[in-house]
A and B are shown apart, each in its own frame.
Chain A
Amino acid sequence: MSIPPPHGFLPNAPLFPPRASEMARDIDLLFFTTLGITVFFSSLIAVLIFYFMIRYRRRSPTQVGVYLKGGSTLLLESTWIIGPLVISLAIFAWGARIFFAAARPPPDAKQYYVIGKQWMWKIEHPGGRREINELHVPRGQAVKLKLTSEDVVHSFYLPAMRIKNDAIPGRYTTMWFNADTLGTFHLFCAEYCGTEHSRMVGRIIVMEPAEYERWIGGESPGGVSGVPSGEDLFVAKACHTCHREGSTARAPLLHGLMGKTVHLEGGQKATADETYIRESIVNPAAKIVAGYQPIMPTYRGQLSEEEIIQLIRYVASLKEPTVGEPTSAGKAADRPAESPPSQSEGAR
């Protein structure tokens, strides 16, 4: 059970892509159904054209066509308006069902972070292990990818899963899959991103869960590529000087924030997801939590995408405090800090 063996008369030129997930099967079925409809209507038109061309070919230079008078034009017209309409709406509904499923990861999905950058993919596993242009995943485990980009728009494309999603700078997008076939499959950048676009390729390796566990344990998580942990950053960037217990008048506590609905100044609401937290770091003035002043300086340009992800992961790890227990942010607050970015620099 590795890559399905090449088949057909041209062993090195497959006519059908390998597939490695249940969703790929669903998408193939939808594709071949619509392909059938396409072939049917194209053939119908082609056959009619050839038949009429021969049957009614001009036999003398002065011959004119037979004038069809009266009759039920309307009946024919409504047939070929309503027929295609019904068919296309059915295709739409089917396609939308798959799309909605592809957009909604199951709750037990393991979250990976993917950063696109000219011209490589940087991937971070749930445990913190990082790799470049390769994505190792366990078979039978829903994998959720949070995508972003450091520079231009890229697109993370896994043909064997039949899915792709754009990696867009300044926000996080989500895709997910559940690989059910072991093997190595293509990873492409599908959105044109500059000179070496076609080199921004890699592999996805689907492994047995046990093998994956061995592989992931093979290297110590974090610190591998020199990115400090989120907790260290929280201190180093002086986040903890305001976002801590006892300082709640200046800045909201971040415990249990991830996934919650936040009430904003002006009565609006926002869901605290990755994009929200990212925006709160690089453009804090964009959404002010109700009851607080817009005093936080911007960190735009001071954090790499990896560092922002570490901070997001750290914030996500902060659980709702139980009464009487010191929180981890509280602990972080005891540690010395670098000087915070100056207010004037941050004010936009």
Chain B
Amino acid sequence: MTAHSDFPAHPTDFPEPIEEAPEPYEHYLNHKYGLASWLLTRDHKRIAILYLISISFFFLLGGLMAVIIRLELTTPEGDLVQADIYNRLFTMHGILMIFFFLIPAIPGVLGNFLIPLMIGAKDLAFPKINLLSWYIYVIGGIFTFYALLTGGVDTGWTFYAPLSTGYTNTPVVMVALGIFITGFSSILTGLNFIVTIHRMRAPGLTWFRLPLFVWAHYATSLIQILGTPVIAITILLLGAERIAGVGIFDPKLGGDPVLFQHFFWFYSHPAVYIMILPAMGVVSELIAAFARKPVFGYHFVAFASIAIAVLGFLVWAHHMFVAGISVYAAAVFSILSMLVAIPSAVKVFNWTTTLYKGSISWDTPMLYALGFIGLFTIGGLTGVMLATLGIDIHVHDTYFVVAHFHYIMVGGAIMGYMGGLHYWWPKITGKLYPKFWSKVGALTIFLGFNVTFFPQFLLGYLGMPRRYHTYPNEFQVLNVMSSAGATVLGLGYLIPAIYFIWSMRYGKDASANPWGAIGLEWETNSPPPVENFDKPPVVTWGAYEYHEARVMPSLPPPKEEVMRVT
């Protein structure tokens, strides 16, 4: 906390909050109309909207597949769809959700929209590359969608060789190419963010005054540009073996199947952090804004993001403890996986401590943020259990793993995304959504999520393997519970979908700062003007300094207290 105390007490160069906008107010949404104005835009805010629409489409598709999967699993027999269809469903569910929803979700929508606003810039460093990365994403999506329409693949999203290279007769190369192409979108977004964060911060916005959302995206971008090329190479090798019969992974051709797993997880484990780090960034913003306090241990939370990004590259073989790797290699990867839990724990403890003596509102975004902390804690700790060698030999490849990573990805990443979307929706659209229904939605999602995925921990310990179309009778009760929860969860997602769309037309107009939050994005109008700020902002304070009363003249003078640790 001492780090913040040397900022000027009464800055004079702080831009005054913007006055009531003159009518008609021209902003990024209404300054131009027509399809071309959207498809050829270089405005990061409009590109964010393009991402929002396209990822929502894939989320809906992936969600519909989950519905059929859960419906099939209500009975032990395979009586709704055939095994071949079932295998394609869970494969495409994973591929769409991971590569076309979770990875681009927060960076593509919220990162794109907010990073320039948060650092006081007009746009990202490379606006045309930003648009290009959306187009690349869409082209990759079309490839995969086309493959889906022609039947989809049945290899699991992990594409393990030699099943994917020599045995399945589904269009593996087509889908893999879709992922290959989309990877470049991810790389370009990461590159754009890194350059933007380095070069385009407003005067006075030093690294340690940055919102933690920006730090988290910086860490995410590092993984994107360093990790994604490896999955691209892996896909090319997979294609070379499948199309040309070059022996790389299939032992019948002289290859090594375990090599594929090393290559695959070298990207795909860090990819988990691509999904969760931005959500952590969102949660840091939400906790600060709705407790009206600086995030406790700001530096620790910021560097925890970097630590997770770095350590995330050193843990990939914890997916392979029983895949014939040496016991010593397994031990090394186990201990490294334990280490990655530490920065995650640091974040959770700091967020929780931030709440202490805060001014905590129960607004919808905060409900999502608190839900995130709880579910991420469970997901993270079960991750430590999975990283424990003696436990993994039992629960590896069972529903325990399925439950664990859904706690991280749905309970973590999607909760973070939903929280962020609710927090910045008034900024993005200039409209307010109904308070009551949004809280109903958040609670429904939280409840539905837990009823869906908690029974899967039990199923996993009982020994039910993942990716099973049929299963022994004794697993039915828990599977029915899980499916019932999924119904609630699905309905939960419909509620925000409905009121968000409703709010765009019927919602009340949002003020510049409806939450009374601090941050450059709240200093400009809702929705922001085309060039974000009427006057380039100058920053003289750190993020979240709610105790500096000048930030919100309407607030009473803050109390100061010396923290005692006992």
Bound pair (A, B): yes
The one of B370, B394, B474, B478 that contacts A163, using a Cβ cutoff of 8 Å = B394
Asked whether B381 lies within 8 Å of A193 as measured between CB atoms, the reply is no
When distances are taken between beta carbons in the complex, the residues of chain B under 8 Å from A69 are: 1-2, 5, 560-563
Cα distance A285–B16 when bound, in Å?
Answer: 78
Assuming the A-B contacts A16-B462, A189-B465, are A166 and B322 also in contact, with contact meaning beta carbons closer than 8 angstroms in the complex? yes
Cα distance A13–B360 when bound, in Å?
Answer: 43
When distances are taken between beta carbons in the complex, the residues of chain B under 8 Å from A59 are: 359
Does B160 interact with chain A (Cβ within 8 Å)? yes
Cα distance A307–B515 when bound, in Å?
Answer: 73
Asked whether B462 lies within 8 Å of A14 as measured between CB atoms, the reply is yes
Nearest residue, chain B, Cβ from A37? B381
Assuming the A-B contacts A45-B348, A67-B559, are A94 and B390 also in contact, with contact meaning beta carbons closer than 8 angstroms in the complex? yes
Spot the interface stretch: B337-345, B416-424, B428-436. Answer: B337-345
Minimum CB–CB distance from A43 to chain B (whole Å) comes to: 10
Asked whether A73 lies within 8 Å of B470 as measured between CB atoms, the reply is no
When distances are taken between beta carbons in the complex, the residues of chain A under 8 Å from B472 are: 186, 201
Does B22 interact with chain A (Cβ within 8 Å)? no
Minimum CB–CB distance from A172 to chain B (whole Å) comes to: 9
Asked whether A71 lies within 8 Å of B393 as measured between CB atoms, the reply is no
When distances are taken between beta carbons in the complex, the residues of chain B under 8 Å from A199 are: 83, 470
Cα distance A100–B326 when bound, in Å?
Answer: 10
Asked whether A166 lies within 8 Å of B378 as measured between CB atoms, the reply is no
Asked whether B357 lies within 8 Å of A56 as measured between CB atoms, the reply is yes
Cα distance A301–B247 when bound, in Å?
Answer: 15
Does B538 interact with chain A (Cβ within 8 Å)? no
Assuming the A-B contacts A70-B563, A89-B338, are A186 and B468 also in contact, with contact meaning beta carbons closer than 8 angstroms in the complex? no
Does B7 interact with chain A (Cβ within 8 Å)? no
Does B229 interact with chain A (Cβ within 8 Å)? no
Asked whether B359 lies within 8 Å of A64 as measured between CB atoms, the reply is yes
When distances are taken between beta carbons in the complex, the residues of chain B under 8 Å from A17 are: 461-463
Does A75 interact with chain B (Cβ within 8 Å)? yes
When distances are taken between beta carbons in the complex, the residues of chain B under 8 Å from A34 are: 384-385, 388, 391
Does A269 interact with chain B (Cβ within 8 Å)? no
Asked whether A42 lies within 8 Å of B377 as measured between CB atoms, the reply is yes
Q: How many residues of A contact B (CB 8 A)?
A: 97
Interface residues of B in 540-566 (CB under 8 A from A): 546-547, 552, 554-556, 558-565
Assuming the A-B contacts A42-B377, A48-B355, are A166 and B323 also in contact, with contact meaning beta carbons closer than 8 angstroms in the complex? yes
Asked whether B377 lies within 8 Å of A45 as measured between CB atoms, the reply is yes
Does B24 interact with chain A (Cβ within 8 Å)? no
Minimum CB–CB distance from A15 to chain B (whole Å) comes to: 6
Cα distance A35–B384 when bound, in Å?
Answer: 10
Does A322 interact with chain B (Cβ within 8 Å)? no
The one of A76, A151, A169 that contacts B353, using a Cβ cutoff of 8 Å = A76
Assuming the A-B contacts A88-B341, A152-B167, A197-B469, are A66 and B293 also in contact, with contact meaning beta carbons closer than 8 angstroms in the complex? yes
Does B533 interact with chain A (Cβ within 8 Å)? no
Cα distance A164–B22 when bound, in Å?
Answer: 69
Cα distance A99–B258 when bound, in Å?
Answer: 20
Minimum CB–CB distance from B36 to chain A (whole Å) comes to: 43
When distances are taken between beta carbons in the complex, the residues of chain B under 8 Å from A300 are: 252
Asked whether B360 lies within 8 Å of A58 as measured between CB atoms, the reply is yes
Asked whether A41 lies within 8 Å of B377 as measured between CB atoms, the reply is yes
Asked whether A164 lies within 8 Å of B346 as measured between CB atoms, the reply is no
Minimum CB–CB distance from B281 to chain A (whole Å) comes to: 19
Asked whether B390 lies within 8 Å of A96 as measured between CB atoms, the reply is yes
Does A84 interact with chain B (Cβ within 8 Å)? yes
Does A195 interact with chain B (Cβ within 8 Å)? yes
Cα distance A159–B399 when bound, in Å?
Answer: 13
Cα distance A98–B160 when bound, in Å?
Answer: 28
Interface residues of B in 476-502 (CB under 8 A from A): 476-478
Cα distance A325–B357 when bound, in Å?
Answer: 89
The proximity string for A residues 187-221 relative to B, scoring 1 for CB distances below 8 Å and 0 otherwise, is: 01111111111110100000000000000000000
When distances are taken between beta carbons in the complex, the residues of chain A under 8 Å from B158 are: 192
Interface residues of A in 76-122 (CB under 8 A from B): 76-77, 80-81, 84-85, 88-89, 91-92, 94-100, 102-103, 118
Minimum CB–CB distance from A145 to chain B (whole Å) comes to: 13
Does A57 interact with chain B (Cβ within 8 Å)? yes
Does B49 interact with chain A (Cβ within 8 Å)? no
The one of B296, B353, B474 that contacts A12, using a Cβ cutoff of 8 Å = B474
Spot the interface stretch: A24-32, A224-232, A234-242, A310-318. Answer: A24-32
When distances are taken between beta carbons in the complex, the residues of chain A under 8 Å from B206 are: none
Asked whether B378 lies within 8 Å of A42 as measured between CB atoms, the reply is yes
When distances are taken between beta carbons in the complex, the residues of chain A under 8 Å from B8 are: none
The proximity string for A residues 236-276 relative to B, scoring 1 for CB distances below 8 Å and 0 otherwise, is: 00000000000000000000000000000000000000000
Asked whether A70 lies within 8 Å of B562 as measured between CB atoms, the reply is yes
The proximity string for B residues 334-377 relative to A, scoring 1 for CB distances below 8 Å and 0 otherwise, is: 11001101100110111011011111111000000010011001
Minimum CB–CB distance from B347 to chain A (whole Å) comes to: 10
Nearest residue, chain A, Cβ from B290? A58
The proximity string for B residues 456-467 relative to A, scoring 1 for CB distances below 8 Å and 0 otherwise, is: 001001110111
When distances are taken between beta carbons in the complex, the residues of chain B under 8 Å from A151 are: 162, 166-167
Cα distance A34–B457 when bound, in Å?
Answer: 14
Does A46 interact with chain B (Cβ within 8 Å)? yes
Cα distance A71–B563 when bound, in Å?
Answer: 5
Assuming the A-B contacts A169-B252, A197-B467, are A157 and B356 also in contact, with contact meaning beta carbons closer than 8 angstroms in the complex? no
Assuming the A-B contacts A17-B462, A57-B362, A66-B561, are A88 and B355 also in contact, with contact meaning beta carbons closer than 8 angstroms in the complex? no
When distances are taken between beta carbons in the complex, the residues of chain B under 8 Å from A63 are: 292, 359, 555-556
Nearest residue, chain B, Cβ from A62? B555
Cα distance A103–B296 when bound, in Å?
Answer: 45
Assuming the A-B contacts A38-B381, A151-B162, A283-B254, are A99 and B468 also in contact, with contact meaning beta carbons closer than 8 angstroms in the complex? no
Assuming the A-B contacts A13-B474, A66-B357, A92-B338, are A194 and B167 also in contact, with contact meaning beta carbons closer than 8 angstroms in the complex? yes
Minimum CB–CB distance from A283 to chain B (whole Å) comes to: 7
Minimum CB–CB distance from B385 to chain A (whole Å) comes to: 5
Does B473 interact with chain A (Cβ within 8 Å)? yes
Asked whether B381 lies within 8 Å of A41 as measured between CB atoms, the reply is yes
Cα distance A1–B208 when bound, in Å?
Answer: 65
When distances are taken between beta carbons in the complex, the residues of chain A under 8 Å from B478 are: 13
Asked whether A64 lies within 8 Å of B1 as measured between CB atoms, the reply is no
Does B81 interact with chain A (Cβ within 8 Å)? no
Nearest residue, chain A, Cβ from B324? A173
Does A53 interact with chain B (Cβ within 8 Å)? yes
Q: List 17 A-B contacts (CB under 8 A).
A: A6-B474, A15-B458, A30-B388, A48-B352, A49-B373, A58-B360, A62-B552, A65-B358, A66-B561, A76-B349, A76-B353, A85-B339, A164-B396, A165-B393, A192-B467, A193-B163, A197-B468
Minimum-distance CB pairs A-B, first 7:
A159-B463, A170-B251, A71-B563, A98-B390, A65-B293, A99-B389, A67-B547
Contact surface of B with A, Cβ cutoff 8 Å? 1-2, 5, 78, 83-84, 87, 154-156, 158, 160, 162-163, 166-168, 250-252, 254, 256-258, 291-294, 296-297, 300, 321-324, 327, 330-331, 334-335, 338-339, 341-342, 345-346, 348-350, 352-353, 355-362, 370, 373-374, 377-378, 381-382, 384-385, 387-394, 396-398, 458, 461-463, 465-478, 516, 546-547, 552, 554-556, 558-565
Beyond A16-B462, A157-B463, 19 additional pairs, beta carbon < 8 A: A57-B361, A61-B516, A62-B555, A68-B562, A69-B563, A76-B353, A77-B300, A88-B341, A92-B335, A92-B389, A95-B388, A96-B331, A98-B389, A164-B322, A171-B251, A190-B398, A198-B83, A198-B467, A283-B254
